[in-house]
Amino acid sequence: MLKYIPYFLTGFALLISCKNSGQKIALPEKKYSDGFSKITAIYKENVYDLSGYADEGAGDPFNLFDENAFVDPRSDESRSSNYIPVTDPQPHNHADIYFAGKRGNRIVADLQIDYDLSDVYIYDKALASDSVWIYTGDMLHWKLKSAFLTKGLVGLAGWRKFSLNDHSQYVMIQFAAQTPSITEMVLYGKPKGRIPSAPSLKYTGPLLSKKPMKEFLGANYYNEIDMKWVRPFHYSRLYCYTANFDNDTVHAYPDAKYNAVYFGYWNGAINDYYLYVEKLKKELNGVAWYTPQGLPAWMSRNGYADKGRGVTKLGMDTEDPLSYARHANLFWNIAAFMGSTKVDTNLLSISNNPRSSGRGSLHLLENGNEDDATWVGNKYCNPVEYFAQSSADYDGHENALGKKCGIKNADTNSKLMMSGLIELDTNHVKVYKFLCNTLRKDKAFLWDGGIQYHHYSQKNLQYAISPEEDSLRWRLSKVRDATYRIEPGVPCILGENGYDKNQKSRQGTPIIPGLSADQSQGIFILRSINATAFSGFDAYILYWLQDYEDETSPNVYLTSGVIKANADGSIKPYAGWFYISAFENRLAEYVPDKIINETGNVWVYKYRNQSSPDSVAYFVYCPTRNGTKVDNYKLNVGKTATGNAQEIYFADDADNGKATTKNISANTVTMGVEERPKLIMIKESK
């Protein structure tokens, strides 16, 4: 899979220009004689960019309000404030994709309560003239209050006043293009309720229960693989395309017929369908999900193979849930066929015979993959478009499309998985939540199957680094905390992570001295799994399971597999497959328990057996990649029930690892530590 993976953006820094004539000092609150005052309770968490650029686009919509404390333009309308705002809310990376279509860049401020609004002041610093609009109302009923052109001339920068004269909880500003540089926006009004305080940035509510390792690991792949090689993985994220299911190029909706039996076939010998996902469930108790992505066959064959959204008819509004009836009907049919609920098969719109329903084999559907991809602008899907499609796919947009649209209308047990985001982009998730709250009567969060992020440990988009150099655990912990604040009850999935073996790929694994590429790959995958487990994420999905090209293939993400399909049909397992297998086999019932040490040359993490809490395992390694080794390291394991521990070495050819008995003396295990992790397994005394 060829794609561009942006580096994690930690935020767009607030820089105050040295050119400001005033100092950065907050102004005292001032209430004017008409009862209006500056609205100060505008918080970053309640400002939304509907184009979805705040993480990947190197911009921050809150820059419209971030300097409000230092200005009060109404206090002197005849001249500029002494303080000159400088931060611009516009995206700065690949900005063209965020202004696609007629809607441009829209920023919504949620004031959280109604205000009687009087005026708005904007600081116009634009060097080019272009259109800007300001609205009040809500996401379903916007009212245009002002439309203007930025001045666009050097020397004319300054405050501009526009009347609102309305009561509203929401205010939206819309930019036609990137050129209008509006560096601040100040609202004046009277609150019609108690002014809200700043939201807490720390989540203190309930957490999801920790997953044991037998329910934590998964892999990405797209064809049937012998169960032996899938055994370490609880989840199978099965790559597929909308055209694999919606392959009818003759009939228009609602007469289209879908192929419900992708990844399977009718088996006359057993007089039933053979479905790979049912085999996974039966033999491995595994959980699979499909990722129908891209466009249906009828659109691809009409020249839309690389662009557009999967609307029912060409030209429909891509931000309207009612435009996705055909897509939602496809998802209804898949859920009716594969889900747990028996549906009258006469209602199915499928091309497969005989018809079947309620098979109980698949309960997760991901409606896309990396729809926020910034490297292919004609495929980029803004948050409103993705919400619209998802609301249709979930329940026919609260049944507005009819009872045969949306997975919930076919099977209430089926769940929607969020299309994997190209990065750790919590801004998109925040906007999705806002749209659910404002565009649906039931305010349901649509992606109850999981919030999914993709992330590869890279440096400046140029080369791969270790998970420790990437601060992977800390990075993911921050994302997990933010996700809990947005929607605490939904699993948080790392849907793609891994390394290529080929050194010409920008994601080629760093090589540990004295080790091969596949050994190094396996070691960094192990360390990434451990970091993800201790971050609080609920699943780690490896990218990728099976290679079809040799290790020398220079293309990115084509040598990420831990097994290799040979030309003669045989399978070659790489070292990483054995490491992952040993990790899962040894820790199947274990959950993350405690971080013992994350400093110095030896890092230590402690796992605990859920069903036998006195059984613990220490994950011990050197966090470097330069060949560091520490001899005679003394691991304190506390009081134990026996005098011995088991040391598990992740061997290149053993799916359980290789075990060695170690003596415990004075609550200590003395061991050699290297960059390849080891497990120390003991039984604590009660």
| DSSP state letters, 488-514 | TTS-EEEEE---BS-TTSTTBPPPPTT
- Residue 162: strand pairing partners: 120
Q: Where are the strands (E) in 192-234, listed by range?
A: 217-221
Spell out the residues 6+ positions from residue 300 whose beta carbon is closer than 8 angstroms to its own: 243, 294
Specify the residue for token string 């002494």: 82
CB 414 within 8 A of CB 455: no
What CATH number is given for 37-191 in this structure?
Answer: 2.60.120.260
Band (pLDDT 50/70/90 cuts) for residue 301 is: confident
Q: Parallel, antiparallel, or unpaired for β 678-683 and 644-649?
A: antiparallel
The yes-or-no verdict on residue 677 having pLDDT over 50 is: yes
Q: How far apart are CA 116 and CA 101, in angstroms?
A: 33
Q: Where are the strands (E) in 255-407, listed by range?
A: 264-267, 272-275, 287-293, 364-366
Lowest mean pLDDT among 193-207, 581-595, 602-616, 650-664: 193-207
| DSSP state letters, 172-192 | EEEESSS---EEEEEEEEEES
Listed residue (605, 637, 632) closest to 621, CA to CA:
605
Lowest mean pLDDT among 87-96, 110-119, 586-595, 663-672: 87-96
Q: How far apart are CA 109 and CA 497, in angstroms?
A: 34
Cα dihedral 521, 526, 528, 533 in deg (nearest 10): 160
Instruction: Give the model's pLDDT for residue 366.
Output: 98
CB 230 within 8 A of CB 236: yes
Cα dihedral 130, 383, 381, 263 in deg (nearest 10): 180
Instruction: Give the percent of the chain with pLDDT over 90.
Output: 87
Instruction: Give the model's pLDDT for residue 414.
Output: 98
Q: How far apart are CA 586 and CA 583, in angstroms?
A: 5
Summarised one tens digit per residue, pLDDT across range 103-117 is: 899 999 999 999 999
Q: Where are the strands (E) in 296-398, listed by range?
A: 364-366
The better pLDDT of the pair 336, 379 is held by 336
Mean pLDDT of the 396-423 span: 98
Q: Residues 362, 209, 367, CA angle at the centre, nearest 5°?
A: 35
Dig out the tokens for 369 from the structure.
């993959």
CB 447 within 8 A of CB 429: no
DSSP three-state, residue 106: strand
Q: How far apart are CA 496 and CA 541, in angstroms?
A: 6
Burial class (CB in 10 A: 0-12, 13-18, 19+), 61: buried
Instruction: Give the model's pLDDT for residue 14.
Output: 33
DSSP assignment letter at 350 = B
Q: Where are the strands (E) in 529-602, listed by range?
A: 539-542, 546-547, 563-565, 571-573, 590-597
Band (pLDDT 50/70/90 cuts) for residue 1 is: very low
Lowest mean pLDDT among 183-197, 298-312, 655-669: 298-312
Summarised one tens digit per residue, pLDDT across range 9-62 is: 333 333 333 344 445 678 888 888 899 999 999 999 999 999 999 989 999 999
Q: How far apart are CA 367 and CA 419, in angstroms?
A: 6
Band (pLDDT 50/70/90 cuts) for residue 626 is: very high
DSSP assignment letter at 354 = S
The better pLDDT of the pair 2, 529 is held by 529
Between the alpha carbon of residue 474 and those of residues 533, 583, 656, the distances in Å are 11, 22, 29
Band (pLDDT 50/70/90 cuts) for residue 300 is: confident
Summarised one tens digit per residue, pLDDT across range 546-591 is: 999 999 999 999 999 999 999 999 999 999 999 999 999 999 999 9
Listed residue (375, 427, 369) closest to 96, CA to CA:
375
Instruction: Give the model's pLDDT for residue 15.
Output: 35
Instruction: Give the model's pLDDT for residue 153.
Output: 83
Dig out the tokens for 393 from the structure.
């796919």
Mean pLDDT of the 406-427 span: 97
Q: How far apart are CA 125 and CA 151, in angstroms?
A: 8
Band (pLDDT 50/70/90 cuts) for residue 326 is: very high
- Ramachandran region of residue 101, left (φ > 0), alpha (ψ -120 to 50) or beta? left
The yes-or-no verdict on residue 182 having pLDDT over 80 is: yes
The yes-or-no verdict on residue 392 having pLDDT over 90 is: yes
Summarised one tens digit per residue, pLDDT across range 353-374 is: 999 999 999 999 999 999 999 8
Residue 122: count other Cβ atoms within 10 Å of its Cβ.
25
Residue 642: count other Cβ atoms within 10 Å of its Cβ.
10
Dig out the tokens for 602 from the structure.
């030896």
Q: How far apart are CA 566 and CA 153, in angstroms?
A: 65
CB 213 within 8 A of CB 234: no
Q: Parallel, antiparallel, or unpaired for β 105-124 and 158-175?
A: antiparallel
Rounded to the nearest integer, the mean pLDDT of the chain is 93
Dig out the tokens for 496 from the structure.
């793609």
Mean pLDDT of the 115-128 span: 95
Starting at the earlier edge strand, list the strands of the sheet with 563-565: 546-547, 563-565, 571-573
Q: How far apart are CA 560 and CA 542, in angstroms?
A: 9
Q: Residues 488, 51, 407, CA angle at the centre, nearest 5°?
A: 50
Q: What are phi and psi of 372, to 5 degrees?
A: -95, 20
The yes-or-no verdict on residue 406 having pLDDT over 90 is: yes
CA Rg, the chain, in Å?
28
Instruction: Give the model's pLDDT for residue 81.
Output: 53
The better pLDDT of the pair 305, 149 is held by 149
Q: What residue type is assigned to position 226 of the chain?
A: D
Between the alpha carbon of residue 653 and those of residues 121, 277, 500, the distances in Å are 68, 28, 20
DSSP three-state, residue 288: strand
Dig out the tokens for 426 from the structure.
């919590």
Instruction: Give the model's pLDDT for residue 29.
Output: 80
What CATH number is given for 590-683 in this structure?
Answer: 2.60.40.1180
The yes-or-no verdict on residue 5 having pLDDT over 70 is: no
Instruction: Give the percent of the chain with pLDDT over 70.
Output: 95
The yes-or-no verdict on residue 274 having pLDDT over 60 is: yes
Name the residue ranges covered by the structural domains of the chain. 37-191, 590-683
Listed residue (117, 99, 106) closest to 39, CA to CA:
117
Q: How far apart are CA 142 and CA 144, in angstroms?
A: 7
Mean pLDDT of the 78-95 span: 82
Mean pLDDT of the 237-255 span: 97
Instruction: Give the model's pLDDT for residue 80.
Output: 47
Specify the residue for token string 């134990």: 640
Q: Parallel, antiparallel, or unpaired for β 415-417 and 629-636?
A: unpaired
